[in-house]
Chain A
């Protein structure tokens, strides 16, 4: 183990991390001016839409801990049919808590369209000359991220649903995860993804290398928990038996639902998606920090939705895939590791370098990093 990672990672992820370093010290975030966004968007769409179109009601969206988002209405013609669509422009700030190309999110959402409730994607660009930053345009989906009477939290972390909605949402939440992991991606057009081989540790190796690199780029100082964890993760890499599409950030607060019917309308935030081991998402769903303990029974609900045993039973039945407790443990550590990289290294670095639109939030969330580091000590430290 060296202080500098030399392992290989996915090509597009490496290129994105390199571009981040090229921007550092050169580019700072500037508050977007709606008229400028509007003008760039018109120019961008003019080269992608045949015929006339109009943009209206462009406005900035709150929420999220990563991308800058705008909503607008587009009157246009597609395949000879006049349309009026509400859309979301999702743009990279100069630096994000997790760096990833918009093209990956775009390609995966396009591949999953019709299989899962995901935003319909329309256009993407990695060229900052187009819209000022890499960006994609996707369809607006109705729904809320949390019940009207729930406390609002940073980035929807720890969102709770109450006794009426919990069982309704839980069934869909587990089913969609199972369907995602059994989804056959092999014939899909995913040029921004490297394809790991089943029966190897490639998928894990590439992920670890990327998180290690981000830590080396962004951390202000060495950290004993991160040293122990990094070493533990490389020493205990499990073989991936079945390569699935991994969401990467599958949790409460990252989906929309209709509050009356309890129907999930959209699974959001696909920026970390990759091809890998299903236990990554499963362990993430089980992360203690997202969950809720029932006030009456004391039972723990993963993502404030489903007990661990019910999650595993329903998931195995729907997906036809097994859940391995040892690999759950491994990915629990990996999830805490990458989250700690984002929360105590990348977020504060982005704020210090003035490269984010969320300066204060990205420092504030380091408190969550402190929780995760404490949990990692129990998982990878030596016995007392």
Chain B
């Protein structure tokens, strides 16, 4: 595959920095501001693009496990749909867009199960549901912080997103 997405992004960035930025009217403050953000965003995209598929795979597996654990706490309404999604998730789609769509569905089902379990805060299973969701939230935050590290905002970044995903996949 030539050029790769990474190669394309690098070429776009070089051209903007080398040719387009110097040609901008220095007094065009709004355009200058946006051009700077375009370059920063390209740096961000180049930092993560090679890891996008792996990111989705890790998240897909994590939410399949979460959904399974949540419905095990209190099988009830929505269980059939959840079971179908869990079974389908045994073989993650190879296509990135389909993989993402499958993960989004798992997340939506996990949310429904969580709100059902915690509707009564003291109900059996509510605390355990919160514990399960907290663990996934913290794991996801590690990925998100690494993913967005080039924005300069996240603290507690454990390396590149590739390194974080490798550590999470190995755990």
Chain A residues within CB distance 8 Å of chain B:
1-3, 60-63, 154, 220-225, 227-228, 231, 235, 289, 358, 360-361, 363-371, 373-374, 377, 381-382
Q: Which residue of A lies closest to B150 (CB)?
A: A367
* Chain B interface, DSSP helix/strand/loop, else mixed: helix
A222 and B108 in contact, given A360-B37, A374-B141 (Cβ under 8 angstroms):
yes
Q: Is B55 in the interface zone, CB < 8 Å from A?
A: no
Q: Is B95 in the interface zone, CB < 8 Å from A?
A: no
Write the nearest CB–CB distance from A215 to chain B, whole angstroms.
11
Q: Is B4 in the interface zone, CB < 8 Å from A?
A: no
Q: Which residue of A lies closest to B134 (CB)?
A: A381
Name the segment of B6-14, B28-36, B81-89 touching the other chain: B28-36
Contact among B38, B104, B150 with A220 in the assembled complex (CB-CB below 8 Å): B104
A352 to B118, CA, bound (A): 33
Q: Which residues of A contact B154 (CB under 8 A)?
A: 367, 370-371, 374
Do the beta carbons of A3 and B112 come within 8 Å of each other? yes
A227 to B137, CA, bound (A): 10
A154 to B127, CA, bound (A): 39
Residue of B30, B107, B127 contacting most chain A CB atoms (<10 Å): B30
A224 and B136 in contact, given A3-B115, A60-B30, A364-B44 (Cβ under 8 angstroms):
yes
Write the nearest CB–CB distance from A273 to chain B, whole angstroms.
26
Do the beta carbons of B118 and A1 come within 8 Å of each other? yes
Instruction: Known pairs A3-B108, A367-B148; list 15 more (Cβ under 8 Å).
Output: A222-B107, A224-B114, A224-B137, A228-B137, A231-B118, A364-B37, A364-B40, A367-B44, A367-B153, A367-B154, A370-B145, A370-B151, A374-B156, A382-B127, A382-B131
Do the beta carbons of A222 and B111 come within 8 Å of each other? yes
Do the beta carbons of B153 and A368 come within 8 Å of each other? yes
A12 to B144, CA, bound (A): 34
Q: Which residues of B contact A367 (CB under 8 A)?
A: 44, 148-154
A382 to B137, CA, bound (A): 11
Range of interface residues on B (Cβ < 8 Å): 35 or more
CB pairs A–B below 8 angstroms (25 shown):
A1-B119, A60-B30, A61-B29, A62-B33, A221-B104, A221-B107, A222-B108, A224-B110, A224-B114, A224-B137, A225-B141, A228-B137, A289-B153, A363-B41, A364-B37, A364-B44, A367-B154, A368-B151, A370-B144, A370-B153, A371-B153, A373-B137, A374-B155, A381-B134, A382-B131
A44 to B29, CA, bound (A): 27
Q: Which residue of B lies closest to A231 (CB)?
A: B118
Q: Which residues of A contact B41 (CB under 8 A)?
A: 360, 363-364
Q: Which residues of A contact B148 (CB under 8 A)?
A: 366-367, 369-370
Contact among A154, A363, A370 with B141 in the assembled complex (CB-CB below 8 Å): A370
Q: Which residues of A contact B141 (CB under 8 A)?
A: 225, 370, 373-374, 377
Do the beta carbons of B131 and A370 come within 8 Å of each other? no
Q: Which residues of A contact B153 (CB under 8 A)?
A: 289, 367-368, 370-371
Do the beta carbons of A3 and B111 come within 8 Å of each other? yes
Write the nearest CB–CB distance from B88 to chain A, whole angstroms.
17
Q: Is B164 in the interface zone, CB < 8 Å from A?
A: no
Interface residues in B108-133 by Cβ distance below 8 A to A read 108, 110-112, 114-115, 118-119, 121, 127, 130-131, 133
Do the beta carbons of A364 and B30 come within 8 Å of each other? no
Q: Is B18 in the interface zone, CB < 8 Å from A?
A: no
Write the nearest CB–CB distance from A159 to chain B, whole angstroms.
14
Q: Scoring B residues 84 to 110 as 1 if CB is less than 8 Å from chain A, else 0, what string do you get?
A: 000000000000000000011001101
Q: Which residues of A contact B103 (CB under 8 A)?
A: 221
Q: Which residues of A contact B104 (CB under 8 A)?
A: 220-222
Do the beta carbons of B119 and A225 come within 8 Å of each other? no
Do the beta carbons of A63 and B33 come within 8 Å of each other? yes
Q: Is B168 in the interface zone, CB < 8 Å from A?
A: no
Q: Which residues of A contact B119 (CB under 8 A)?
A: 1
Do the beta carbons of B30 and A61 come within 8 Å of each other? yes
Do the beta carbons of A228 and B134 come within 8 Å of each other? yes
A2 to B134, CA, bound (A): 18
A364 to B37, CA, bound (A): 8
A369 to B41, CA, bound (A): 15
Q: Which residues of B contact A364 (CB under 8 A)?
A: 37, 40-41, 44, 151
Q: Which residue of A lies closest to B151 (CB)?
A: A367
Q: Which residues of B contact A220 (CB under 8 A)?
A: 104
Q: Which residues of A contact B155 (CB under 8 A)?
A: 371, 374
Q: Which residue of B lies closest to A358 (CB)?
A: B34
Q: Which residue of A lies closest to B59 (CB)?
A: A221
Do the beta carbons of B147 and A370 come within 8 Å of each other? yes
Write the nearest CB–CB distance from A30 to chain B, whole angstroms.
15
Do the beta carbons of B37 and A381 come within 8 Å of each other? no
Q: Which residue of B lies closest to A2 (CB)?
A: B115
Do the beta carbons of B121 and A235 come within 8 Å of each other? yes
Do the beta carbons of A62 and B138 come within 8 Å of each other? no
Write the nearest CB–CB distance from B144 to chain A, whole angstroms.
4
